[in-house]
Amino acid sequence: MTLPGIPTYVEPDTTLRVKIGDTCGLTCTFCHNEGTPVATDNRNRSAGTFTIGGPSGRMSIYAATNGAQFLPAAIPADERFGQVLASLRDALDLTEVHLTGGEPTLHPGVADLTRIAVDAGYTVGMTSNGENGRNVLPDCAEAGLDRVNFSIFGTTANELAEVQHAKYRNPKLAERKIKELHHSISACEANGVKASANIVVLDRSHAPRVHRLLDEYSPHLTVRLLNSLDHGTASVDAIEAILVERGAVPEANYVTAGVSGSRTSYRLPDGRRVYFKQIRPVRLPQTCAGCRFNNDTDCEEGFYGVRLYYDREGQYQVGVCIQRMDLCQPIDEFLASGLRDEILALRQAEYRELVAATAQ
């Protein structure tokens, strides 16, 4: 979705999302966990019986219905990881690796994984809640980490509790998480790593929390407002209302060809910028054609791009949809499949169409 009357800039998608581990100390109620079940809650369950939630309090909102066939494991920082990255780089013309989880800073080898990805020719980014950033981000920066997108959920313990499991209604525990986030942001600033803030907006009731977050963080970080996939139009409507309340003026659209991600930049009255990240209705022409979710309401993310996983059997898996994890393929099967060609063709066709449309 793009707004009319402002410039639109188009770039092809060349990013690989890599789930490097499943451990996380937060329990966000809207978490999709990159489509995989929460490993600690499902270690004694088999495919077809995976649960959305469990004793840990963590969530994976699609796990019970997305046909996931494996449990995730932490990626080892070894030669094989570099080989897999190189194979996907060459097969899909990729230039960027984005480390996800779980929480990437809790992976003990995150700096080594960063170095391996940089050595494979990638720019490396990360999405993090900042739990362990002050301990690992300096080493990640030395290894070549380019930027971190911090997921920010609250400025106070009560605000954090609004989007967490009941276990985080312990103010001391929540305050520790917030303090660690601040330390992580400082670690980025001290080590030359670019930092931005992702704020997920569930619905209108979360507007006061978002306004406080914008007041606290946007002077220092680039802020992106993200709609919650699990909350549909209520989430989008809430973000639009917040932007109006802030007096935000749209400046430009940024569209990534070949995947569903797009964002619009807004200028606030004081000159700061805020981005509204949205999902476009992009589908893989053949793979998505017969999908039961392929309609205007059930397909919540569309084709967001290629994801890489590591399962508990020691095998790398390539995925293309968090709502259809049954589409995941072992790396060697993916490289030999027609899915690679379908992804490249979609990217090239969309790029040509979008560039032509912006030139008119």
| pLDDT at residue number 218 | 67
| pLDDT at residue number 179 | 93
Q: What's the chain look like in SS3?
A: CCCCCCCEEEEECCEEEEECCCCCCCCECCCCHHHCCCHHHHCCCCCCCCCCECCCCCECCCCCCCCCCCCECCCCCCHHHHHHHHHHHHHHCCCEEEEECCCHHHCCCHHHHHHHHHHCCCEEEEEECCCCHHHHHHHHHHHCEEEEEEECCCCCHHHHHHCECHHHHCHHHHHHHHHHHHHHHHHHHHHCCEEEEEEEECCHHHHHHHHHHHHHHCCCCEEEEEECHHHHHHHHHHHHHHHHHCCCEEEEEEEEECCCEEEEEEECCCCCEEEEEEECCCCCCCCCCCCCCCCCCCCCCCCCCEEEEEECCCCEEEECCCCCHHHCEEHHHHHCCCHHHHHHHHHHHHHHHHHHHHHC
| Count of CB atoms situated within 10 Å of the CB of 76 | 14
| Residue pair 193/141 in contact by the 8 Å Cβ criterion | yes
Residue by residue, pLDDT tens for the chain (360 residues) are: 678 889 999 999 999 999 999 999 999 888 999 999 999 999 999 999 999 989 999 999 999 999 999 999 999 999 999 999 999 999 999 999 999 999 999 999 999 999 999 999 999 999 999 999 999 999 999 999 999 999 888 778 777 877 788 776 777 888 899 999 999 999 999 999 999 988 888 889 888 888 888 888 767 788 899 888 767 789 889 999 999 999 999 999 999 999 999 999 999 998 889 999 988 999 999 999 999 999 988 999 999 999 999 999 999 999 999 999 999 999 999 999 999 999 999 999 999 999 998 877
| pLDDT at residue number 1 | 61
Decide the pairing of beta strands 306-310 and 249-257. Answer: unpaired
| pLDDT at residue number 3 | 84
CA 163 from centroid of its chain's CA atoms: 17
Set out the domains of the chain in order of their start, with CATH numbers.
8-359 (3.20.20.70)
